[in-house]
Structure 1
Amino acid sequence: MITKLILGSAALLSGLMAANGIFMLVAPLDWYMAIPGVTTTGPFNQHFLRDIGLIFLFNSFAFAVGAAKPEYRRALWCSATLWLLVHALFHVWEVAVGICEPSALIRDFAAVSSPALVGVLLTLWAFGRPGLATKVSQGRFRRAT
């Protein structure tokens, strides 16, 4: 039951990140204008937004493949979560040095901090479970025929 909840959460996170990344790639100016607070962070930069859109697509792919392929889960979820976590910490740093008001952390929580927290929880869960190599070495891995 918990495994289904975890994998469902990874799939949901993947889907949300894919939607965001595609939006950023297809309509960067619309994304820039639609997301609360973005216009206060600097001028519109189509190239930069598309770069970040690609990162969101990569992270989406990492969570989707990790959900489907347990043997790659730890590496993929860890790398995607690392970016999400550093991104969230960057937002905290901007507040700490006075670039943004503290209210930005509240405004950005759903789109910046919560994906990082979900990624951390998913990744910790993945590292708490025996890996494929352990299952194979203990004879607990059965190939479907």
Structure 2
Amino acid sequence: MWKRAAAGVLGAISVINALLMWADGRRWYDSVPGVAFTGPYNPHFVQDIGAAFFAAGLGLVARAWRPRYWPAAVAGAGFLALHAAIHVGMLIGAMLGICTARTWGFDIAAVILPAALSLYVAFPSKGESHA
């Protein structure tokens, strides 16, 4: 049961993030640590990424709502995991001196750990009813 609740919370956070990206992309871009280091603000790109976070969040919320919708959560968590893998690559690059990781603490706390937890909670537990 806790996995479903965690999926709901993580999904809601992703949906809220997407809504903020759509409502005021410029403010989102300027306020999230590290984003401004990726290049100049591009409103279309921020909206596209918002769409990915929205879809990922809906998949996780669907898992919280109905356990049999766990495949949707796996798809959503898949995006979050791929996004986190990019951040892991940047952190490794920084450790090797290839690139600069200015926000490693934020990356771990707000991107990598939630993605790992999302993957874990997306799959049904043993004995949990599912499709």
Per the TM superposition, whether the score is higher than 0.5 is yes
Contact 1:81/1:120 (8 A) holds in 2? yes
User: Could you tell me how far apart the structure 2 residues matched to 1:26 and 1:89 are?
Assistant: 27
CA deviation map 1:5-59 (0-9, x unaligned): 2222111111111110000011110000111111111111111110010111111
Segments of 4+ in structure 1 off by > 4 A?
none
Contact 2:25/2:46 (8 A) holds in 1? yes
Contact 1:11/1:67 (8 A) holds in 2? yes
State which drifts further: 104-113 or 45-54: 104-113
Structure 1 residue 128: deviation in Å? Answer: 3.5
* Percentage of matched positions with identical amino acids: 27
Does the residue aligned with 1:100 lie in a helix, a strand or coil? coil
Say yes or no: does 1:116 pair with 2:115.
yes
Q: Which has the larger radius of gyration?
A: 1
| Closer, same or farther: CA 82–93 of 1 in aligned 2, 3 Å | same
Structure 1 residue 129: deviation in Å? Answer: 3.9
Structure 1 residue 121: deviation in Å? Answer: 1.9
- Select 1:57's aligned residue among 48, 54, 57: 54
Contact 2:84/2:111 (8 A) holds in 1? yes
Per the alignment, residue 107 of structure 1 pairs with 106
- Select 2:32's aligned residue among 22, 31, 35: 35
Indicate the structure whose relative CO is greater, using CA pairs within 8 Å and at least 6 residues apart: 2
Per the alignment, residue 8 of structure 1 pairs with 5
Give the number of equivalent residue pairs. Answer: 127
CA deviation map 1:40-99 (0-9, x unaligned): 1111111111001011111111111121122221x1111111111111111111233323
